[in-house]
Amino acid sequence: MLELELRLRYEDERTAESVLRAVEPDNGGYVGSELNGKEIIFKMKAKDAGSMRNTADDLLVCIKIAEEASGIVASATDFDGDAFLE
Protein backbone atom coordinates (compact mmCIF):
# COMPACT_ATOMS: atom_id res chain seq x y z
CA MET A 1 0.00 0.00 0.00
CA LEU A 2 1.36 3.43 -0.98
CA GLU A 3 0.79 6.49 1.19
CA LEU A 4 1.15 10.16 0.33
CA GLU A 5 0.85 13.18 2.58
CA LEU A 6 0.47 16.66 1.10
CA ARG A 7 0.74 19.74 3.31
CA LEU A 8 -0.41 23.16 2.13
CA ARG A 9 0.27 26.29 4.17
CA TYR A 10 -1.71 29.49 3.64
CA GLU A 11 -1.31 33.05 4.91
CA ASP A 12 -4.22 32.77 7.33
CA GLU A 13 -6.60 30.24 8.86
CA ARG A 14 -9.63 31.60 7.03
CA THR A 15 -8.06 30.97 3.64
CA ALA A 16 -6.99 27.46 4.62
CA GLU A 17 -10.49 26.66 5.83
CA SER A 18 -12.04 28.06 2.63
CA VAL A 19 -9.84 25.92 0.40
CA LEU A 20 -10.48 22.83 2.51
CA ARG A 21 -14.25 23.32 2.44
CA ALA A 22 -14.15 23.81 -1.33
CA VAL A 23 -12.36 20.52 -2.01
CA GLU A 24 -13.98 18.32 0.66
CA PRO A 25 -16.94 17.20 -1.49
CA ASP A 26 -14.55 15.99 -4.21
CA ASN A 27 -12.46 13.91 -1.82
CA GLY A 28 -15.24 11.39 -1.16
CA GLY A 29 -13.33 8.72 0.75
CA TYR A 30 -10.23 8.82 -1.45
CA VAL A 31 -8.41 11.53 0.47
CA GLY A 32 -8.35 12.24 4.18
CA SER A 33 -7.98 15.87 5.21
CA GLU A 34 -7.21 17.79 8.36
CA LEU A 35 -7.10 21.50 9.09
CA ASN A 36 -4.33 22.55 11.46
CA GLY A 37 -4.39 26.33 11.76
CA LYS A 38 -3.05 27.79 8.51
CA GLU A 39 -2.15 24.35 7.17
CA ILE A 40 -4.21 21.70 5.39
CA ILE A 41 -2.94 18.14 5.56
CA PHE A 42 -4.16 15.72 2.91
CA LYS A 43 -3.47 11.98 3.25
CA MET A 44 -3.95 9.49 0.45
CA LYS A 45 -3.53 5.72 0.19
CA ALA A 46 -3.54 3.59 -2.95
CA LYS A 47 -2.74 0.04 -3.97
CA ASP A 48 -0.49 1.09 -6.85
CA ALA A 49 1.37 4.08 -8.27
CA GLY A 50 -1.15 4.66 -11.06
CA SER A 51 -4.06 4.94 -8.64
CA MET A 52 -2.05 7.24 -6.38
CA ARG A 53 -1.16 9.47 -9.29
CA ASN A 54 -4.79 9.72 -10.41
CA THR A 55 -5.95 10.59 -6.90
CA ALA A 56 -3.18 13.17 -6.39
CA ASP A 57 -3.78 14.72 -9.81
CA ASP A 58 -7.51 15.06 -9.13
CA LEU A 59 -6.87 16.61 -5.73
CA LEU A 60 -4.33 19.11 -7.09
CA VAL A 61 -6.75 20.23 -9.82
CA CYS A 62 -9.48 20.77 -7.21
CA ILE A 63 -7.07 22.73 -4.99
CA LYS A 64 -5.97 24.92 -7.90
CA ILE A 65 -9.58 25.74 -8.79
CA ALA A 66 -10.42 26.50 -5.14
CA GLU A 67 -7.40 28.80 -4.86
CA GLU A 68 -8.25 30.58 -8.12
CA ALA A 69 -11.87 31.05 -7.01
CA SER A 70 -10.77 32.56 -3.70
CA GLY A 71 -8.25 34.85 -5.39
CA ILE A 72 -5.19 33.25 -3.79
CA VAL A 73 -3.55 32.64 -7.15
CA ALA A 74 -4.24 34.07 -10.56
CA SER A 75 -5.47 31.71 -13.23
CA ALA A 76 -3.59 31.28 -16.49
CA THR A 77 -6.35 33.23 -18.25
CA ASP A 78 -5.44 36.31 -16.18
CA PHE A 79 -2.14 36.63 -18.05
CA ASP A 80 -1.33 37.50 -21.61
CA GLY A 81 1.00 35.22 -23.51
CA ASP A 82 4.11 37.29 -22.79
CA ALA A 83 3.60 37.56 -19.02
CA PHE A 84 5.65 34.46 -18.28
CA LEU A 85 8.55 35.64 -20.43
CA GLU A 86 9.28 38.85 -18.55
Residue ranges per domain, the chain?
2-74
CATH classification of 2-74, choosing from 3.30.310.50, 2.60.40.3950, 1.10.287.3240, 3.40.50.1820? 3.30.310.50
Q: Which residue has the higher pLDDT, 45 or 70?
A: 45
Residue type, 13: E
pTM (two decimals): 0.76
Encode pLDDT of 6-50 as tens digits.
999 998 899 899 999 988 866 667 789 999 999 999 999 999 999
Residue 24, pLDDT score: 80
Q: In what order do the strands lie in the sheet with 31-36?
A: 2-9, 39-46, 31-36
